[in-house]
Amino acid sequence: MADQRDWLSTEVEVERSMPGVNMTSAVWRRLRRHPGAIAGLILLGLLVAAVGLANFSPYNPEASEMSIKFQPPSLQHWMGTDALGRDLLTRVLYGGRISLTVGLIVVAIALLIGVPVGALSGYYGGWLDVLLMRVTDTFLSLPSFMVLILLGAFLREIKIPLIERNNVLTIGLVIGSLSWMTTARLVRATFLTIKSMDYITAARSMGASDWRLISRHILPNAIGPIVVESTLELAYAIIEESGLSFLGFGIRPPTPSWGNLLSDAQNYFVASPWLAIFPGLMIFLTIISVNYIGDGLRDAFDPYKVLEKVGEY
């Protein structure tokens, strides 16, 4: 253990001695030595680029053409056509926009709720910690998927500005409302660890306010675990959206999403397996790329898992 601490200290000193090296560049240098994370970044970048170029498809994602229904993959229709003669590749790309957008909304909600709750709980402790963590435990004890179904069915039937049937924001809010608890507990644990360190005690003795300690000293050093958790939340949100849409409580047809594309394909899986294979493949590739990125970020932010050796500069 002593040798490990000595090696880590030497590694940190080497990084600090390099001109122009800061936390961001050090993390990137460690991340790029993680082959899985780089492969995940490339794959996710290609998926996002393909989804972003969906408008250039010559086919309308919602216009049917019954004369070409159930065509297998070909040079004209790379992923075939569905039961209404719609180009499946076009619908998969447009569905990717929906699924990824829902994932980003869920991550934003998890950060907006989970980070403040975890920071306040971990920093102040006492009765505030007990109160916030009991609220968090209450949300964690709920059967999440059943609650998501109930919320999805309820919100899509009421008339509130920006909240309506088939609305991406509605589904994002539904999933995000039950996705912040893990972030809150992680941030709390990180704050409890960091606030007991000597440099925090020194800053407090010099008269630093609570806000300055949280915003300038503790939170920046908790960014690593938060970023890693965000990648996991993104993967979780895509899976949850796909599950809700598959069951008919998420994005509803004719608006495509990866979940409802799988739902539409279940009656034709034997005769037209491509209808399920390609949306499922997109979900799989997105989730595995995000997980590899999260794995690489975890190692890059963790000083005890530095992927470099002293002298390899």
Query: Cα(226)–Cα(118) distance, rounded to whole angstroms?
Result: 11
Amino acid at 200: I
Looking at the predicted structure, is the pLDDT value of residue 131 above 90? Answer: yes
Q: What is the pLDDT of residue 20?
A: 45
pLDDT tens for each residue of 16-27: 444 445 667 777
CATH: 2.40.30.160, 1.10.3720.10, 3.40.50.1360, 3.40.50.300. Which one for 23-55+82-305? 1.10.3720.10
Query: Cα(170)–Cα(151) distance, rounded to whole angstroms?
Result: 9
Q: Is 248 left (phi over 0), alpha (psi -120 to 50) or beta?
A: left
Q: What is the pLDDT of residue 130?
A: 92
Nearest to 245 by CA among 236, 254, 258: 258
Nearest to 36 by CA among 277, 291, 225, 260: 291
Neighbours of 84 (CB within 10 A): 17
pLDDT tens for each residue of 207-244: 888 888 888 888 888 888 888 888 888 888 888 888 88
C-alpha distances (whole Å) from 263 to each of 101, 122, 268 are 20, 43, 10
Query: Cα(300)–Cα(9) distance, rounded to whole angstroms?
Result: 16
Residue 121 · residue 132 · CB < 8 Å: yes
Close Cβ partners of 301 (under 8 Å, ≥ 6 residues apart): 27, 223, 224, 225, 227, 228
* Site of tokens 């408008």: 55
Q: What is the pLDDT of residue 12?
A: 43
Per residue, the 3-state secondary structure of 119-173, as one string, reads HHHHHHCHHHHHHHHHHHHHHHHCCHHHHHHHHHHHHCCCCECCECCCCHHHHHH
Helical (H) or strand (E) element with 234: helix 223-247
Query: Cα(181)–Cα(110) distance, rounded to whole angstroms?
Result: 8
pLDDT tens for each residue of 262-280: 888 888 888 888 888 998 8
Domain locations in the chain? 23-55+82-305
Report pTM. Answer: 0.80
Confidence of residue 108 (pLDDT cuts 50, 70, 90): very high
Query: How many H helices and E strands in the chain?
Result: 13, 0
pLDDT tens for each residue of 35-64: 888 998 999 999 999 998 888 888 888 888
pLDDT tens for each residue of 154-172: 766 666 665 665 578 878 8
